[in-house]
Amino acid sequence: MLNEALTSIKGIGPTRAERFAALGLFTFSDLICFMPREYRDYSRVTNICDLKQDDYAVIRVTELGSPKTVRIPRSHLTVTTVSVSDGTGRLQATWYNQAYAAKNVPTANGGYVIGKFDKRRGMKLLQPAFASVIPGIQPIYPLVKGLNQSIIRNAVRIALNSCRDEITDELGESIRKEFSLMPKADALENAHFPQDAASLNAARRSIAFEDALLFTIMLAYIRSLRSREKGISFDVTGIKDEFLKLIPFALTNAQSRIIDEIACDMHSSAPMNRLIQGDVGSGKTVLALYAMYAAMKNGYQSALMAPTEILAQQHYKQLNSIFGEKAAIITGRQTKKQREELIGKIAEGKVTAVTGTHALIEGDVKFRNLGIVITDEQHRFGVHQRAKLGSKAATPDVMIMSATPIPRTLSLILYGDLDVSILNDMPPGRIPVNTKYVPQSKRIAMYRYIEKTVQEKAIQAYVVCPMIEDNEEMESVNSAEAVFDELSEMLSVRVALMHGRMKNAEKESTMEAFRRGEIDVLVSTTVIEVGVDVPNANIIAIESADRFGLAQLHQLRGRVGRGNMESYCFLLSDSDSKLVRDRLKTLTETNDGFKIAEKDLEIRGPGDFIGTRQHGEVSLGAALGADMNTLLEAHEAAERIMKEDTPDCRRLIDKAKQKYERSYKDIAIN
Ligand code: ADP
Ligand code: MG
């Protein structure tokens, strides 16, 4: 049954199956492994008089009104309400744009109603549901349009029931005992439909442990395969000194140290596989330039891959200053003739240092002797793309540069297949971004300030929102579309909108227009390009900043402060929680991305960071909700197992290969 298609579930036809497919769900097995993104605890009754803002509550219904639906004038909104009392107070169960919900309201008193309590807009219970018994802990799954929680829950229930006997324990008895893990079938049952909070925790831990263990084994295995490959041994004697004469500044200590590490890798006959992490502006490009220079001195070509055209152009300027005629850029915009000419030069080896976007990895580009491949802003490239470029040469050295600081302990786990260098200091003279916390009450004044500054100083501003469009479940969050509408009306400057659902070409042209100064205020989701340099953009305002991780906020803040003018980052939040405010204040106190990442790990756990290694490549899906201890335990267990080389170990390697099959094949050819 594990491979049974979802269409065999009653109520799932071809159309609905397509919605499931959009979530990556095709079979029963996919459903069973589809982890809830959170849980709502509906296992205890609360009195209305004791409710606190944003509580998810179960209310005993002793008195029930009859439902009413009203249409809000000049809006698309209908509001359906029914009055509920439990003897300690009264509230309005409230649905937005769900007039049909009125049909499901019971006609007699008794039973329960659940939902999210909101007292700010009157005593309301939002998106409520009636139930005859106390529902218990409910799973909340990631959704796409056309599906809702109850459709997914029912499907998962059916899949679990039909496959229970086929779920096997991969880890084996001894590991389960040693780390007190639940049997797999029990763990899955409780992760979807928890009996109580304790079994939910144990279940999530067990699943995350297995996931992290297999992940570590996989990466360690890939590393061991690579170390047996034969790469190029470059002669690096004296090259650093020569290179230093070509650049206009002295290296920072960290840059100098990492150049030595790169030199050591390049000299070694095993292929280099190094990840370099450094905050935005820490000076990663010069490291790439060094490696490309060393390759050239040894008669090899090099490729520097950038995630966007704009970044490739920025790189090309620098390549040009070092390699002159022997530098080249391949972009999607060149004419067929230009491209053919360039490709000819690359194939003949007349061009040495090449940069570009994904156009660089398209089939017809052939290098004469590619020695090193560097990808910038790594998290935009999946393993697949990197592998493709890697396959253009036998076993070139591979270097990856990332602007996402990740705490050391965690990057050893997430990037166990790579050597990791951390660029942890900044070039001198950088002016830190002024970062301010802005409460809801000062929001409008802030936008007026932005308007005035934009007009008076001719600078530009970003406004970042956590979501594209409004969503009733998160009423208090301002979406990009809503803020765009609001600001277009309110401000007398040029406002534009950019978000992830727009076509790539549209996004790039909006970004281009912003760069050229044709847009004053750019409202967007988090799609604004990492590494994009718009020196004239000196203000960034982040709506509902509490919705983002600190590391992500820090990343966003890195979009400004690239020129030599004073720059500002405004963190908006309407949260009245001290915890939230203290968390955001971390950013007002430090500019060090690694410190911020550590703090984020401490407060939010590893989930956000794990998410950064998820773009179409090896991912630690189920471990997203794991705590750091579980990850570390699993990591240690995996390393021990790999050393032992027992039947257990071989079985787990096979299992890991099977699980990460697609990624494994791609990585192995790299
Ligand atoms: P990122 O790590 O974000 O890619 P860049 O390599 O683009 O950073 O460097 C940011 C800026 O700092 C560039 O203008 C670069 O020329 C400059 N820079 C880099 N290293 C140094 C240094 N050691 N001293 C002075 N300026 C530097
Ligand atoms: Mg860069």
pLDDT of residue 483: 95
The full 3-state SS of 220-233, as one line of letters, equals: HHHHHHHHCCCCCC
Nearest alpha carbon, ligand 1 atom 23: 251
Residues 116/93, Cβ–Cβ less than 8 Å: no
Question: Which ligand 1 atom is nearest residue 251's CA?
Answer: 23
Under the banding of pLDDT at 50, 70 and 90, the label for residue 224 is: confident
> pLDDT tens digit string along 233-269?
999 999 999 999 999 999 999 999 999 999 999 999 9
The CB of 280 under 6 Å from ligand 1? The reply is yes
Nearest alpha carbon, ligand 1 atom 4: 284
pLDDT of residue 614: 47
pLDDT top residue among 104 and 337: 337
DSSP tag of 535: T
What is the chain's mean pLDDT, rounded?
88
Least distant ligand from the CA of 355? 2
> pLDDT tens digit string along 76-107?
889 999 999 999 999 999 998 888 888 888 88
Q: E strands of 1-141, at which residues?
A: 38-42, 56-60, 63-64, 68-71, 78-85, 90-96, 112-118, 124-131, 136-140
Please report, for the chain, how many H helices and E strands are present, in that order.
23, 22
Hey, CA dihedral for 250, 252, 254, 255, is it positive or negative? negative
The CB of 461 under 6 Å from ligand 1? The reply is no
How remote is the C-alpha of 32 from its chain's centroid? 23
Q: Which of 257, 282, 285 to mutate to test the pocket of ligand 1 (most atoms within 8 A of CB)?
A: 285
Q: With pLDDT > 70 as the criterion, what percentage of the chain qualifies?
A: 92
pLDDT of residue 620: 60
> How far apart (Å, rounded) are the C-alpha atoms in residues 295 and 579?
50
pLDDT of residue 669: 42
pLDDT of residue 580: 86
pLDDT of residue 623: 62
CA separation, residue 663 to residues 270, 291, 383, 619, 659 (Å): 22, 27, 7, 9, 9
Q: Which pair of tokens denotes residue 42?
A: 């509906």
> pLDDT tens digit string along 199-223?
999 999 999 899 889 888 888 888 8
DSSP tag of 448: H
Q: Give exposure, 36-56, as e/b (b: 16+ Cβ within 10 Å).
A: beebbbbeeebebeebeeebb
pLDDT of residue 388: 59
> How far apart (Å, rounded) are the C-alpha atoms in residues 130 and 141?
20
> pLDDT tens digit string along 30-58?
999 898 888 999 999 999 999 998 899 99
Nearest alpha carbon, ligand 1 atom 10: 281
pLDDT of residue 100: 85
Residues 119-146, mean pLDDT to the nearest whole number: 91
Q: Residue length, the chain?
A: 670
Under the banding of pLDDT at 50, 70 and 90, the label for residue 288 is: very high
> How far apart (Å, rounded) are the C-alpha atoms in residues 289 and 243?
9
The full 3-state SS of 99-131, as one line of letters, equals: HHHHHHCCCCCCCEEEEEEECCCCCEEEEEEEE
Under the banding of pLDDT at 50, 70 and 90, the label for residue 581 is: confident
Least distant ligand from the CA of 376? 2
pLDDT of residue 664: 53
Helix, strand, coil shares of the chain, percent, nearest 5, are 45, 20, 35
pTM for the full predicted model? 0.76
pLDDT of residue 668: 46
Nearest alpha carbon, ligand 1 atom 20: 283
> pLDDT tens digit string along 459-493?
999 999 998 887 655 667 789 999 999 999 999 99
pLDDT of residue 259: 98
> Is pLDDT of 539 > 90?
yes
Question: Which ligand 1 atom is nearest residue 279's CA?
Answer: 2
Tell me the CA–centroid distance for residue 281 and ligand 2, in Å. Answer: 7
pLDDT of residue 281: 83
pLDDT of residue 241: 97
Residues 143-152, mean pLDDT to the nearest whole number: 90
Tell me the CA–centroid distance for residue 289 and ligand 2, in Å. Answer: 12
> Is pLDDT of 423 > 70?
yes
User: DSSP alpha helices (H): ranges in 351-442?
Assistant: 383-390, 408-414
The DSSP line for 322-373 is HHGGGEEEE-TTS-HHHHHHHHHHHHHT---EEEESGGGGSTT---SSEEEE
> Is pLDDT of 524 > 80?
yes
> pLDDT tens digit string along 355-392?
998 778 776 888 999 999 998 875 555 555 555 555 66
Cβ-Cβ contacts under 8 Å for 584 (sequence gap 6 or more):
437, 545, 546, 550, 553, 571, 573
Least distant ligand from the CA of 564? 1
Residues 311/376, Cβ–Cβ less than 8 Å: yes
Q: With pLDDT > 90 as the criterion, what percentage of the chain qualifies?
A: 54
Cβ-Cβ contacts under 8 Å for 103 (sequence gap 6 or more):
none
Nearest alpha carbon, ligand 1 atom 27: 427
